[in-house]
Every structure is written in C-alpha cells, then in structure tokens.
C-alpha cells in the first residue's frame, strides 16, 4: 500500500494486505476469481473482488481478471449468472450481474488513472450496457434477466435495479471520460431512478425480507437526503442486531459481514460516517486468525457459517474501509456528494 493514510487506517481497522492477498491467492491462473477455493464464480461478485484487489495494490491481478471477463462475455453482451472453472454453470442472463463491470472499471480508473485500460474495455462495457438496458421498459422498469433459452423473465427486482442504477452512472461517467455521448443510457438512468423513487410498485416480486432491498436504493444513490434517512429509520430495527451487525434476512438469526459492510457503505454514502463507523466497529473481531473475515455467523450461539473464506465478502469490507478512511482515490465512488461534484458525472 502506497497511500498516505494506509498505515493509519490499517491500525484503526484491520490488516488490508492479508485480505487482498487472500483474494489474489484464490484467483485462478486464467484470472477467474471464484467465491472461495473450488467454488463457483459469478460476474457481480468477481467485479467486487477486483475492486478489493485494486484497493490492496494488486493491479496486475485486477487487470488479469478483467481479461477473463472479456474472454467470457457472450457476443450479445451478457455474462452468465455463474461459472465453475470457466465453464458456464447457471446460464441465466442477469442484467445486474452483467452491468456491474461498469462500477469495477470506474473504480479502477479512479485508482490507477489507466486510460488505456478504459479504451481497451470500452467495447466490452458498451456491449454489456446495451444488453442490460434493452430489458428496460419505457416506464423505467427493468426486467432482471433472460432465461437460458432467451425468454425475458417479467420480474423486476428492487435490489438488482438499484445496482444497475449505480452501474449506469459509472458507465456514463466512463463514456464521458472517453468522449462518447450516450443519451439513450442517460435517459434509461433517469427513468430507472424515477422508478426506484416513485414507482416501487413496479418491482413485482417482493424481496423485503432481505436487507439488501432496504439499503441498496441508498447505496446506489437513487435515494438520497431526507428520502434516504427515512428509509434507514423505517427498517433499522427490522434488520439491525445491535453490537453484531446486519441480518441477511429479517426472519433468520444470521448476521453477514457483506451486508453489514454494504450498510456501512450506504450510511457513508449519504453522509452519516459516524453511524457507519459504529456499525463497522461491530464486525471488526469477526475474523479468522489470518485477519480475513468470516462470511457470516448465527446468533446468539455465534456459529461461523459458512466456514469458507469468501473473496467478495472480504472485498466489500475493504470497500467499506476505503469509504470511511479514504485509503485510495476511489474511496468515495458510492458517495452521493461525490456524484454532484465529479467532473464526469452524468447529471450535468
């Protein structure tokens, strides 16, 4: 780590090097980053792991992972929902999973300022976003996937659509960096944001038991200010276990490190770093002996489950630390104020 605040943040938070090293060592020789050793890979979580590598300074490994994604992209622009050892396992064509590469690429650019990589990846990104936004209706509603047979699933999901909102912001920013004009993408972004804010009835399969449905509209920036605070307050007691973290599902006694860290990101994004740091402090001792984080644990019996060291879980812990302690120039990528002042923001 070469960033000025890295030593301070490491002392306050955890051993970032150990976590990034675990992700790098889980990566396969061809660049693929599975969930854990001998596990499956999905494109959304792989991009999350790439961001963790970049924060940890593993730039070469991150670039190799992007190369794997280029190689595995379907000619129509999507990635399959999961792979195992490079072979498609779940052939669902998921919009959320396909679009998230935009977030990973902008994150990479903010840290490394590698314009050549953006240029190299532009055809991949453009193809991905064109596929994703082709599944959006004029009302703003975004279908979540196509089946392996190519049939559109008429389901719209709040969490997935919120994530696509964030991805579309990043894709538009990359387009501006490279000098491309994408008015259709911007129109899609505005319609999707309006749908998340004002037409939540369009999300026709409820996932309200899942904490991600609670805070992803905030994490993405679709909800901000008073709207974001009202949503935090409304569901706080439903998902929060004081001094432990965030339930993955409201009716299960299972706290997950990823959801807890993502809530930290959402709170920090809306400007509440004090509360974000409190939540982050709750998970700081939920680690293996090497400093990497558990995936989750049950309560009150405190059984670690599952026992694997999960790449994307550890990556989002690093992302949360970066948001709170500005370890890298990409630390504020989710921050709502950042998007108001970012010179490549799509909002002006």
Q: pLDDT tens digits for 179-214?
A: 999 999 999 999 999 999 999 888 978 899 999 999
The answer to whether residue 56 scores a pLDDT higher than 80 is yes
**pLDDT the model gives residue 13:** 53
Domains of the chain by range and CATH? 6-341 (1.50.10.10)
CA distance 251 to 223: 25
What's the mean pLDDT in 73-96?
Answer: 98
The 3-state DSSP class for residue 284 equals coil
Q: Is the pLDDT of residue 3 over 80?
A: no
Handedness of CA 268, 273, 278, 280 (dihedral sign): positive
Alpha-carbon 44 to chain mean position? 7
What distance in Å separates the CA atoms of residue 232 and residue 103, rounded to the nearest whole number?
24
> 92: Cβ–Cβ under 8 A, 6 or more apart, which residues?
80, 81, 145, 146, 147, 148
What CA–CA distance (Å, rounded) separates 31 from 42?
13
Residue with tokens 């000619």: 75
Question: Mean pLDDT, to the nearest integer, of 69-73?
Answer: 98
pLDDT of residue 14: 56
Q: If 0-12 CB within 10 Å is exposed, 13-18 middle and 19+ buried, where does residue 302 land?
A: exposed
287-329 pLDDT per residue, tens: 999 999 999 999 999 999 999 999 999 999 999 999 999 999 9
- Split at pLDDT 50, 70, 90, the class of 11 is very low
Whether the CA torsion 335, 274, 50, 99 is positive or negative: it is negative
Asked if 305 and 297 touch (Cβ cutoff 8 Å), the reply is yes
**Backbone φ, ψ for residue 291 (5° rounding):** 95, -5
Which pLDDT value is given to residue 1?
Answer: 39
pTM of the model: 0.96
Encode pLDDT of 213-264 as tens digits. 999 999 999 999 999 999 999 999 999 999 999 999 999 999 999 999 999 9
Residues facing residue 337 across a β-bridge: none
Q: How many Cα atoms occupy the beta-carbon half-sphere of 301 within 13 Å?
A: 6
Which residue in the block uniquely carries the two structure tokens 């072979």? 87
CA distances from 148 to 96, 99, 163, 222 (A): 16, 18, 22, 30
């Amino acid at each position: 780590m070469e960033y000025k605040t890295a030593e301070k943040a490491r002392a306050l938070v955890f051993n970032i090097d150990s976590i990034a090293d675990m992700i790098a060592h889980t990566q396969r020789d061809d660049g693929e980053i599975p969930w854990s050793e001998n596990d499956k890979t999905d494109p959304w979580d792989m991009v999350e792991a790439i961001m963790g590598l970049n924060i940890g300074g593993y730039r070469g490994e991150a670039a190799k992972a992007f190369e794997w994604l280029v190689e595995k992209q379907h000619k129509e622009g999507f990635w399959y929902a999961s792979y195992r050892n490079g072979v498609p396992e779940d052939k669902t064509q998921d919009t959320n999973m396909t679009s998230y590469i935009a977030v990973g690429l902008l994150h990479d650019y903010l840290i490394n300022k590698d314009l050549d990589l953006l240029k190299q990846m532009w055809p991949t990104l453009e193809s991905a976003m064109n596929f994703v936004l082709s599944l959006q209706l004029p009302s703003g509603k975004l279908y979540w996937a196509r089946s392996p047979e190519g049939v559109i699933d008429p389901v719209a999901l709040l969490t997935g659509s919120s994530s696509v909102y964030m991805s579309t912001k990043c894709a538009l920013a990359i387009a501006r960096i490279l000098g491309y004009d994408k008015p259709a993408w911007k129109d899609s972004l505005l319609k999707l944001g309006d749908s998340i804010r004002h037409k939540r009835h369009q999300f026709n399969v409820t996932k309200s038991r899942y904490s991600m449905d609670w805070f992803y509209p905030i994490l993405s920036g679709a909800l901000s200010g008073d709207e974001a605070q009202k949503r935090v307050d409304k569901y706080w007691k439903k998902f929060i276990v004081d001094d432990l973290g965030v339930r993955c599902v409201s009716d299960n006694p299972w706290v997950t490190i990823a959801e807890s860290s993502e809530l930290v990101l959402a709170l920090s994004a809306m400007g509440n770093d004090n509360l974000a740091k409190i939540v982050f402090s709750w998970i700081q001792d939920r680690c293996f002996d090497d400093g990497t984080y558990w995936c989750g644990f049950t309560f009150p019996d405190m059984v670690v489950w599952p026992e694997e060291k999960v790449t994307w879980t550890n990556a989002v812990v690093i992302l949360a630390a970066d948001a709170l302690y500005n370890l890298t120039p990409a630390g504020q990528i989710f921050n709502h104020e950042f998007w108001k002042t970012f010179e490549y923001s799509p909002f002006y």
